Amino acid sequence: MAFTIDQISVLTERTQLFLVILNKEGEIVNCNSKCNIILKSSQAIEKYDKIYKYVIDEDKSRFQKVINTISEDNPILYETFGFPITPEGIITLKLEFILKNDLIYATGIDITTENKEHRALEVISKLTKTGAWNYNPLNERMYWSEGCYRIHELDPNTPMTKNLSLSFFPENSRTRIENYFECITKNNQSYTFVEKISTAKGSEKWVKVKAKPIMYQDEVVFVNGTMADITDRYNYIEELKYNEETKNLALKGIKSGLFDHHLPKNIVFYSEDLKKMIGLPLDKDFIPEEEFRKLIHPEDVDEALQRHQSNLRSQNPYYFNHYRLNHLGEEDYRYYEVYGYITYDKYQNPKRLIGNLIDVDEKTKNKKLLKESKKNLQAMINNGFAYILLLNTKGEILMADDLSIKIIKKNYDVDPIAKKSKFIDVMPLNFKDTFTKDFETALEGKSVRKEFERITLNGTTQWLESKYTPIEDEEGKVSSVLASFLDVTETKIAELAIKEAHLKEQELGKLKTNILSNFSHEIRTPLNGIMTITKLLLKEEDVEERKKLLNLLSESEDRLLHTLDNLSNLRDLESIEHHVALYTIDVNYLVSKCFNKYKKEAFSKNLSYELMLDTNSPSLKTDQEFLKISISHIIHNAIKYTNDGKIEIKVESDENNVYITIRDTGIGIKQENLNAIFEPFVQESIGLSRKYEGTGIGLSLAKRYIEVLGGNINAKSKSGKGTDFKIIIPKSL
C-alpha cells in the first residue's frame, strides 16, 4: 500500500535523514527542514543555489563530479561529503544520489561521529602497527583493514582470501595456523599466536594474531581478529635473552658471581651461581652480611673490613676488596677479589653495593710461582710476545719460537737452531737500524724497550714493540739476551681511537654544560623578572610606574615564551617532514609581518630598520609557519647582535626561487665559526660569560625548516662588520 501525501510529508519532516532534490545543474529544487543545518536557511531553495557551494572546499570537485557523472546509464551513486556548520564545526554526510525524471534525489545520513572514530582508529593503527581482520566461515570470505595491508606491505586493493593470508607465513607453520581456523570455527575456541611472516616486498616481520568467534544459535557465523607488528619488541626481547645468557656464561667462564648488598639493612642478595660457588644456602634470597663474613680467613677479616669501610667513606663509587674465603666448607681457603659499584641516597649516604665476586685463586697462586721463577722464566713468558729469540753474547740464535723459525727458514732458507746463525744476518732489513745499539745496551745489563714502525712485504704498516732483556748467570754476568717483538698495531690503533673518544667526550661534556647553563639562564632570568615585577606591582600605586612595570613584565613574558617555543620546536625537529602544510602564500605579506613583529625591538636600540619588498609580489607554495619561524629567528638574531647601524630586509625573486636577505651591521662572525653557527646550542660566546642572551638553537631551527621546504640558507660575515643571511626558497615544493 502506497504512502499518502500527508504521510510522506510527516516522514520527510520528522526523519533524521537529510533529503534534497537537485536539478541536473546541481541546483537545489527542494529539501526537508533537516537540511537547514547544512544550508543554514531556506533561502537556498528560493535562490536555486548550487549544492556544492555548501560543501567544504576539498570536497567541491568531487561533488561536482557526482553531478556530472550521474546519468540514465549510471543512475545511482554513493559518496561522502563534509559540510561546515557554525559553531559545531564540520558535519559529515553519507549521501545516496538517484536520478529520476531529470531530477537528482539525494538522501543522506549523519556519519560525523563514525567518521571521527574511523580516523582515530586509522591513526591508532598506524602508530601501534596494528590492523583488524574478519573471516566468514559460511562463505569463506576474508576482510583486512588497511593496517593489515601495511604490515604485509601489500597493495590495499588486493582482494584478500584465507589462502592468500596463509601464504605470508612459513610453509612449516601453515598447517598449524590452518588448525587454528578449524578450532575456532568448529570448537568455538579463541586463539592467539606469534609467528614470523614474509611481506609482499620480502621483508621479514614478527606478528601477533588474535581471533574471537561470533556465535549464532551455537554456531560460529563470524570471526573477528587483530594483527600487530611486534618485530621491534620481539627482536628486543630476543636480544635481552641473548645478553642475559652471554652475561651468565661470561661470569661462569671467569668463576664469578653477582651480589647486591643493601647497606642500611646490611643484607645481601647473592646470585645462584655465586651461592653455589662458595657454599651459601640456596633456599635464601637475602643473607645477612655477617654470615658471609664468617667465610673469610681469620687473618684477612680485619684488613678486609677496613678496606670495606674505607671504600664506603671515600665517596668514590668504584669498589675493590680482596680476601681468602673458605670454599664449600673445605679446610683450605681460596683467593677472591671483589669489584663493585656503590650508589648513594640524596644525602650522599651509601645505599647499595652491586658487585662481582671473582675466584682468583689460580691467578694468585700463579703469581707466586712467577715470582719464584722470575730470574730464569720472566722474559720468556712476559706479555706473550709473538716473536721470541734467545741470543748469546755474540748475537747468535740459541732458541726461538716456532713462528720466528718458520719465517727465517722461508726468507733465508736456513734453520737457525740446526745451524748457528747471527740474528743480524737473518732479520728483516728494517730491524737492523736499531738492533746493534739495543743489543749492546742489553749486554751491559740494561733492559731496552722500544716501539718502531715498519712497512711489511705486502705494503701494510706494522707497529712492533721490541724488548731486549739481559739474562745473568750465577755470578751476575750477562750470559744471554732475550729478544722479543710484539705486534702492537692494534694497540696503537686502539690508543688513537681512545684519544679521539676522549676528545669527543670532552666536547660532549662542554656542550652539555653550555646547554644546561644556556637554558637555565634563559628560563630563570625572565622568571626572576616576572616574580620581582609582580611583587613591585602589588606595592606600586603610581599609574605611570605601574605602566612601566607592566611593559617590563610583558618583555619578560615574551622572552620566556620565546625560549619555550624554541624548546618545543627543537623537540619536534626530527619529525617535521611529516607535518609540512603546503599553501600558496604572498611572500611580501609574510615578510612584512615578520618585519613589523620586531620593529619595536629594533627602534628601542635606535637602529635603522628597513624593508624592501619585491615589486613583482612573488607567491610560492610552501609551509607558511616554517618559513615565518625561520625568517623571525634570523631577524631576531640580527637585532640582538647589532648595537648600532642598521638592519636591512630585502625580498627578490626570479622564475624559480624567492630570495630573502637579512643584512645587519652587527658584531659579525669569525670565519672559522661560520659553519658552526647552524649547529644546535652553538653561539660564538658560550657559557655563563657569554655576551648575548639566547639558547643557541634559533639558527639551527631556521636552517632545518628551510631545508625541509627545499631551500637553503647562505651566510656571509666579517667579524666586527656585520652579517648577511640569504634564504633561498623554491616557488613550489
Q: Are 77 and 66 in contact (CB under 8 A)?
A: yes
Cell 612584512: give the residue. Answer: 592
In a domain, 122, yes or no: yes
In whole angstroms, what is the distance from residue 342 CA to residue 337 CA? 16
**Residue 308 and residue 225 in one domain:** no
Q: HSE on the CB side for 648, CA within 13 Å?
A: 12
| Residue appearing with cell numbers 634559533 | 698
Residues 358 and 225 in one domain: no
Q: CA geometry: angle at 584 spanning 583 and 590, to 5°?
A: 100
**In terms of domains, do 134 and 57 share one?**
no
Q: Are residues 543 and 598 in the same domain?
A: no
User: Which structural domain, as residue segments, surrounds residue 424?
Assistant: 373-487
For the four alpha carbons of 40, 44, 49 and 50, in that order, the dihedral sign comes to: positive
- Residue finishing a domain among 432, 467, 487: 487
Rounded CA Rg of the chain: 41
Q: What is the CA angle 354-358-362, rounded to 5?
A: 170
The confidence score (pLDDT) of residue 537 equals 66
Rounded distance between C-alpha atoms, residue 246 and residue 240, angstroms: 10
CA dist list (Å): 690 to 81, 311, 511, 673, 696:
57, 41, 14, 15, 11
123 and 228 housed in the same domain: yes
pLDDT digits (tens, 9 = 90+) for 136-190: 888 888 998 888 999 999 998 899 998 999 999 999 989 898 888 888 888 888 8
Q: Decide if 194 is inside a domain.
A: yes
The total number of residues written for the chain in this structure: 733
* pLDDT given for residue 646 in this prediction: 93
Element holding 443 (H helix, E strand) = helix 432-443
Give the pLDDT score at 373: 52
Q: Are residues 12 and 106 in the same domain?
A: yes
Report the CATH number at residue 393: 3.30.450.20
Q: How many domains does the chain have?
A: 6
**Same domain as 23, residue 100:** yes
Cα–Cα–Cα angle for 201, 203, 207, rounded to 5 degrees: 115
3-state secondary structure of 669: coil
Cα separation of 395 and 232, whole Å? Answer: 64
Local mean pLDDT, 10-residue blocks, the chain (733 residues): 72 84 89 83 64 86 90 88 80 90 90 74 75 88 89 91 91 89 84 91 92 86 89 80 64 71 86 79 80 87 91 90 79 85 90 86 73 48 61 84 78 82 79 80 86 74 82 84 80 76 59 51 61 69 69 61 55 56 89 91 91 90 87 89 92 92 90 70 43 57 83 89 92 77
Final residue in a domain of this structure, among 366, 397, 413: 366
> Is residue 570 assigned to a domain?
no
Q: How far is CA 534 from CA 480, 531, 555, in A?
A: 88, 5, 13
Chain centre distance of CA 538:
47
Q: Would 247 be classed as within a structural domain? A: no
Is position 245 within any domain? no
DSSP strand pairing (608-612 vs 646-653)? parallel
Q: Is 503 in the same domain as 437?
A: no
Does one domain contain both 93 and 53?
yes
Beta strands 387-392 and 397-400: pairing type? antiparallel
